[in-house]
């Protein structure tokens, strides 16, 4: 599917949920969200060229939205209440986020860690990818990848703890 250009409005956190939310026209959301589903992973590209992997969601009342954090808004150069033209396209990546090279290398060397990583639920995998990708230096990304794979292998990752 080709990218869809559309206008979104950035709503402050107090308007809907706990995070800044971008309202998406329901007719646009219908073109991206498969039938009988309420969400779809998408890539949002802002006018400044920044792109982000996010979930396009439809709530029970028909409100269609994408949640952004303040750091995303800063990187995209957008503010609360602003209407902005973006490109939305289906995210066809395997994990719904960019996969850091550092983690790929660690998982290549750790078959047990790779198997356990793949067994994690999709949200946990995306959280791990985000955490490693958020590091500013290669050294920090390597350190985080090694630490996370160790925790996955030893079942000490927060999401693996028994409740």
Instruction: Write out pLDDT tens, residues 44-82.
Output: 999 999 999 999 999 988 889 999 888 888 999 998 888
d(CA 108, CA 51): 28
* Residue ranges of domains in the chain, CATH in brackets: 4-90 (2.40.30.100), 101-157 (no CATH)
CA 163 to chain centre: 26
- Report which secondary-structure segment, H or E, holds 65: strand 64-67
CA 15 to chain centre: 21
Query: For strand 4-11 and strand 39-45, is the pairing parallel, antiparallel, or unpaired?
Result: unpaired
What six digits make up the tokens of 123? Answer: 């949200």
d(CA 122, CA 136): 24
Q: At what angle do helices 111-119 and 138-153 cross, to 10 degrees?
A: 80
Per-residue pLDDT band at 26 (split at 50, 70, 90): very high
Put residue 128 in one of left, alpha, beta given phi > 0 → left and psi -120 to 50 → alpha. Answer: alpha
Q: At what angle do helices 138-153 and 122-133 cross, to 10 degrees?
A: 150
Q: How many CA atoms lie within 13 A of 113 on its CB side?
A: 20
Whole-model pTM: value is: 0.78
Check pLDDT > 60 for residue 162. Answer: no
């Amino acid at each position: 599917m080709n990218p869809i250009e559309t206008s979104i409005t950035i709503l402050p956190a107090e308007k809907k949920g706990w995070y800044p939310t971008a309202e998406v026209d329901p007719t646009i959301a219908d073109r991206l969200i498969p039938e009988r589903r309420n969400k779809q992973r998408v890539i949002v590209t802002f006018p400044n060229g920044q792109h982000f992997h996010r979930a396009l969601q439809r709530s029970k009342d028909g409100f269609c939205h994408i949640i952004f954090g303040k750091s995303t808004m800063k990187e995209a150069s957008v503010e609360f209440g602003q209407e902005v033209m973006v490109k939305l396209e289906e995210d066809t990546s395997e994990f719904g986020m960019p996969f850091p090279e550092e983690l790929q290398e660690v998982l290549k060397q750790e078959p047990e860690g790779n198997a356990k990583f793949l067994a994690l639920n999709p949200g946990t995998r995306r959280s791990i990818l985000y955490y490693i990708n958020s590091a500013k230096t290669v050294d920090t990304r390597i350190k985080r990848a090694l630490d996370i794979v160790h925790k996955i292998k030893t079942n000490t990752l927060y999401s693996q703890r028994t409740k």
